[in-house]
Structure 1
Amino acid sequence: MDKISDGTPLDAATRRRLTRRGILMASAGAAAALGAAGMNVLQTDAPAVAGRELHPEPLIPGRNRGIILYSVRDRIAAAPDSSGVPYGFERVLARLAELGYKEIEFAGYNQSTEILGRQITPAEIRKILDDNGLVANGTHAQINAATFEQQMDIAQTLGMRNIGTGSDPANSSYTADWDAAADLWNDLGRRARARGLRLYTHNHDTAYSFLLDSGPLDAAGKPTRSSGTRRLEYFFRKTDPRYVFFELDIYWAYVARFKHQKYVDRGGVERTDLFDPILNVTSRSKRFPLFHAKDGDRDSAQANGYVMTPLGEGDINFQQFFATIGDPEYRHANWEQDTAPGGAANPAQSLDFAALSYRNMADLTIYQR
């Protein structure tokens, strides 16, 4: 039985509450887009086939279920206290392993110096991983030419297969900046591959906004209109698929679908183009080994169109998403919720949300003959 961070079992009503919406409901918008593309649309009920017994299989295999530590950053950074809630790498990673997580994505390597009287080392973190049967599947580090070798050293000490960043490769609307970013990432990705690593970047919604790459120039000589190409789509084309990979943040991808729908073409005409997160992955499947399984409650009154929630509490259809993109053995899903920490008022909240989200990740299944 699952437990929250103070050891209290999760009751059946709580589990039902967390899986009641979104998890098993097909998205009409996604279904229409998939059908138009000639792809099969998932049936989310348990189908009946005469004379054949169907059985559920997990959409995310247990060994591929992970968490980025940014979700529980408050407890990683916490000093010893009297709350009874785990703190620091040793206690927090042990708790995450108890919950069922098998993979860890890092968001920094520091904890409170009050725990050891000094800062913990990557080698000591590796031992904690090994002791708890955990595997490091990636990191959100600063990716630049000056520190890349050092970052790869840390990644290899921790046993990572992937090394990445939580920032977009370029914070720009112009192709010249994305060209420069692609040159850098192709070089760094080549160096990473030489050391047995894959270099990846994680998206926010702005990465799927439209480039300014056509039409009249402004006073600085830069384009003011768009061809309809999205920033990261351009980066896909400019980077070598052998060296540069991606971690789709599913929440931010759906925010992009909500926010970035219109552009003005070279002739000054406003155009509409809806971004589809599922087709974005299926069109270049092997470039996405990692995902952030981050959920959101739909709220069109919000600037982003969603409010972050624990996995399974929101309206994003992870059942449809993971069933359609396929390759469950290749995909690694890391739960993330930026807003999970509860602060001094509720120090256990992020670990409680981690427990709830793990259960809902494990509940994602598809029926097979």
Structure 2
Amino acid sequence: MKVPIGLRAVLVAVLSTLLFVGLAGSASAAPPTKAPAAAECADRGVPLSKISIQLYTFADYIGDDAGSQARHEEVLRRLAEMGYRNVEPYTLSGWTAEEYAALLDEYGLKASARHVDVGSPANPTDIEQIIADNRVLGIKYFGSGSTAGAPWIGELETEADWIAYAEYLDAVGEQARQAGQTLFIHNHDFEFSTVFGDRTAFDILMQHTQKKNVVSQLDLYWVAFAGLDPVDVIEEYGKRIKLLHVKDLNPALDNRIEIVGRGSLDFPAIFAAAQHVRYYVVEHDPRFGDPTFDPFEAAQAGLDYLTSVTY
């Protein structure tokens, strides 16, 4: 077993030559020069068929009140107009799976994956219903937005707790595999900063699940925030990493999440190491209550970057 990578700062080159386009009609001011459009980058970048966006980017905008469905639909419409072909839902906003599938179809979108609570040993959930809904939605990949080891959940404290959780996920993953679907683990920083001997919690999750049952949706920002180089993690776990959450890190602003391409992560190096990945998923966690953050700008800039980046 390879000793887990020690904490260290991520020192990468700022991609200063790229310019980004502001979304027309956005509350944010548009940059003076327009970035290359996807059509102008047809011979470069990530194919549109492999680009998606995690809709949690719009969580503050969508909300969960009586108007959430209308705003959710507006998000889908505007993403389709930008050129997105895939989305990754984190909520169905009260629609049934059938209703949501019809809505995606109306806007020419597909659900590349889904964040949905898959439970834990202490709090199991109805996996059969999730699998049934996924089948209606056309979703192959799914998993919780966070592991049960999150500090705000507090279920996993010991190494034995993490092992038991991994074994639970492996059983869920086997159930999913038998239904033609794939369970993934989505990380934050604590899976890498929680260490037992020479193993991180992420190591434990990978070692105590079978690759045929459980894969990784690697969140690049949180890997870097924990002090690791995403390239090292990708090289260690290889084809078990099937999806990437592509979001950037700004070291000049207390390592906050940044719009893709405007921070310090070396995406060309990361993508070169991860060419086996199925989906590159743009994400920017909401800055709840911050009127200066425009999730539509983040979505447009992320798409422009991914369709033009060379690696």
- In which range does the TM-score fall when normalised by the shorter chain? 0.7 to 0.9
Change (3 A) 1:74 1:100: same
Shift of 1:295: 0.7
- 1:138-287 maps to which residues of 2 (within 5 A)? 138-144=113-119, 145-171=124-150, 172-212=156-196, 227-257=197-227, 275-287=228-240
Separation in 2 of the partners of 1:108 and 1:66? 16
Q: 1:326: which partner in 2?
A: 275
Q: 1:99: which partner in 2?
A: 82
One-letter identity of the residue aligned with 1:64: K
Change (3 A) 1:56 1:76: closer
Change (3 A) 1:255 1:2: closer
Change (3 A) 1:10 1:160: farther
Q: 1:24: which partner in 2?
A: none
- 1:3-18 maps to which residues of 2 (within 5 A)? 4=23, 6=25, 13-15=32-34
- 1:331-342 maps to which residues of 2 (within 5 A)? 331-340=278-287
Q: 1:293: which partner in 2?
A: 246
Separation in 1 of the partners of 2:64 and 2:169? 35
Change (3 A) 1:176 1:362: same
Shift of 1:278: 0.9
Q: 2:110: which partner in 1?
A: 135
- 1:65 corresponds, among 51, 54, 58, to 51
Contact 2:26 2:294 in 1 (8 A): no
Separation in 2 of the partners of 1:184 and 1:292? 24
Change (3 A) 1:350 1:318: same
Contact 1:290 1:332 in 2 (8 A): yes
Q: 1:266: which partner in 2?
A: none
Shift of 1:14: 4.8
Separation in 1 of the partners of 2:72 and 2:140? 20
Shift of 1:326: 2.1
Contact 1:137 1:161 in 2 (8 A): yes
Change (3 A) 1:206 1:90: same
Separation in 2 of the partners of 1:183 and 1:320? 33
One-letter identity of the residue aligned with 2:216: F
Contact 2:89 2:115 in 1 (8 A): yes
Contact 2:22 2:31 in 1 (8 A): no
Runs of 5+ consecutive residues of structure 1 not aligned to the other structure:
19-54, 111-118, 213-226, 258-274
Contact 2:87 2:110 in 1 (8 A): yes
Contact 1:71 1:341 in 2 (8 A): no
Separation in 2 of the partners of 1:363 and 1:242? 33
Shift of 1:133: 2.0
Q: 1:116: which partner in 2?
A: none
SS in 1 for 2:32: helix
1:72-116 Cα shifts (integer Å, max 9, x gaps): 1233337798xxxx9433221011011121211111111xxxxxx
Contact 1:340 1:349 in 2 (8 A): no
Separation in 1 of the partners of 2:216 and 2:195? 19
TM-score (norm 1): 0.68
Separation in 2 of the partners of 1:132 and 1:80? 22
Which moved further from structure 2: 278-287 or 197-206?
278-287
- 1:125 corresponds, among 81, 94, 100, to 100
1:284-303 Cα shifts (integer Å, max 9, x gaps): 2221111110111114x83x
Change (3 A) 1:107 1:349: same
Runs of 5+ consecutive residues of structure 2 not aligned to the other structure:
1-19, 151-155
Q: 2:63: which partner in 1?
A: 77
Separation in 2 of the partners of 1:8 and 1:356? 15
- Could you say which structure has the larger radius of gyration? 1
Q: 1:360: which partner in 2?
A: 305
1:148-182 Cα shifts (integer Å, max 9, x gaps): 12222222221111111111253535221121012
Separation in 2 of the partners of 1:6 and 1:80? 24
Q: How many residues align?
A: 278
SS in 1 for 2:260: coil
Separation in 1 of the partners of 2:283 and 2:59? 11
Q: 1:315: which partner in 2?
A: 264
Contact 1:311 1:356 in 2 (8 A): yes
